[in-house]
Amino acid sequence: MPSANEPAANGPAANPATATDRSSGVVLVVDFGAQYAQLIARRVREARVYSEIVPHTTPVPEMLARNPKAIILSGGPSSVYAEDAPGVGPELFEAGVPVLGICYGFQAMARALGGTVERTGTREYGGTELTVSRTGSTLFEGTPAEQSVWMSHGDSVTEAPAGFTVTASTPGTPVAAFESDERRLYGVQHHPEVMHSTHGQQIIEHFLHRGAGLEPNWTTSSIVEESVAAIREQIGSRRAICGLSGGVDSAVAAALVQKAVGSQLTCVYVDHGLMRKGESEQVEKDFVAATGVQLKVVDAEERFLSALAGVSDPEQKRKIIGREFIRVFEQAASEIVAEAGAAGEAVEFLVQGTLYPDVVESGGGSGTASIKSHHNVGGLPEDLQFQLVEPLRQLFKDEVRMVGQELGLPEEIVQRQPFPGPGLGIRIVGEVTKARLDLLREADAIARQELTAAGLDRGIWQCPVVLLADVRSVGVQGDGRTYGHPVVLRPVSSEDAMTADWSRLPYEVLARISTRITNEVDEVNRVVLDVTSKPPGTIEWE
């Protein structure tokens, strides 16, 4: 997001199985270090127009060589007048390509075209009332004259470039939007990509469809077709394995790769002892029945628990789990080749269900702060022997669900609530032991049963149940003193896992969950509710 105070982040590195050849019709999102540059690209895709992210360091001739149909300049953490601030060459605006500047991109555009950007002493962060002075303009037609938008800036455009019409303002920003229909150049100071800007999607669609004249013709079937083509190009006639976890991400990734290369793929389900109650059986039954994929099951509970013994640090846990996954996959690949006999070819590729939020939180992209190492990104060992195939790396969870539906996966897989690859190992605060896992499995099963019975499965994003294993509290049960563990309920609502809010569950549902857990699960005498949003907290505790 915007100038002067936004944490920097860049899009993930390119991956062969996510690359597409869309030389015609692509919208380039130029990333100036915005945490939500990928969200801009996602909003463009929601408008059924294909988009890709490029770093701001990409030379303008290189951008133009890709024949973009439009360009969007993202927000960023810099001030445009700082000595090392990233800029935009004026030649970009002379190429005849429609451009939309957002926040920092808006300011960079204004400065490059001769406008004025200043630090006025008035900053705007969060919800702000925007007054539209040209309600019939290209960007704002059909939206209210007064609307709530999301601002995050310390600098302001105080004078628009010559030939531009100022179309909106706020109490602290006299030039909050401008347009030049003749040159097809547009800019807004606020962030239309975030849901807090009430008419943000309309503004983005107006730029794409009205300003740039693009047709809404990129669909879920297009994603599938392009992903399958990219996978075939990467894998060719060689063999691959897919780490199947039972979650929607790995299931959709596996289904895409199977569609692309068929029997060249073998799915490997690692039963590491960190799964929830009944999930191993569900993976073996439901996914194989739905897809007919070749599945190899590896019992690795003892291996994982031995590696995790004595470890309480969450980062160390994630790295251990990521390392052990790879070692098991290597062993499974050797066994698959051996089982094939003399005709067996080496397994060269590992398919993962990596999503964009995994990459961001693991520090993917230059300048990105690492929040936590996801087992499939920051937790991978340096001596990895496989080439990675990550067909979902540029997608958000809801987009992955749509791809799963397009591929014909059953609803119980596609709509399954997210569950981390490291499993319950990162939902135990403290050392991971079999006894603690068994305890957490029972508490988690009760919470899931009650949420399902109340019809709340679709109403919340997910509800992690966390065991505070290194914490004990005094309780009274059966007229006697107990000294048991607390468990935490973490119900959250989210659109894309980049941000989240805690879900306001009915009190009677919370009461049933609490009563059942404290009555039915030994050594748990307290149930607490996490009411923290993301940020500042992450969805998982570890």
Active site amino acids? 103, 191, 193
Phi (first) and psi of residue 33, to 5 degrees: 95, 20
Which has the closest alpha carbon to 263: 232, 289, 293, 308? 293
Neighbours of 118 (CB within 10 A): 13
Neighbours of 32 (CB within 10 A): 31
| Pairing mode, strands 480-489 and 27-31 | unpaired
Query: Is the CB of residue 94 less than 8 Å from the CB of residue 61?
Result: no
What's the chain's length in residues?
542
Query: What's the gap between Cα 461 and its chain centre?
Result: 13
* Residue 306 to residue 252: CA distance in whole angstroms: 31
* Residue 339 to residue 358: CA distance in whole angstroms: 34
Query: Is the CB of residue 139 less than 8 Å from the CB of residue 177?
Result: yes
User: In a 3-state reduction of DSSP, which class is residue 289?
Assistant: helix
Paired tokens of 83: 């000595």
* Residue 268 to residue 244: CA distance in whole angstroms: 6
User: In a 3-state reduction of DSSP, which class is residue 64?
Assistant: helix
Residue 98 belongs to what H/E stretch? none
* Residue 225 to residue 407: CA distance in whole angstroms: 11
Which has the closest alpha carbon to 60: 114, 108, 115, 10? 108
Handedness of CA 33, 34, 35, 37 (dihedral sign): negative
Paired tokens of 259: 């569609």
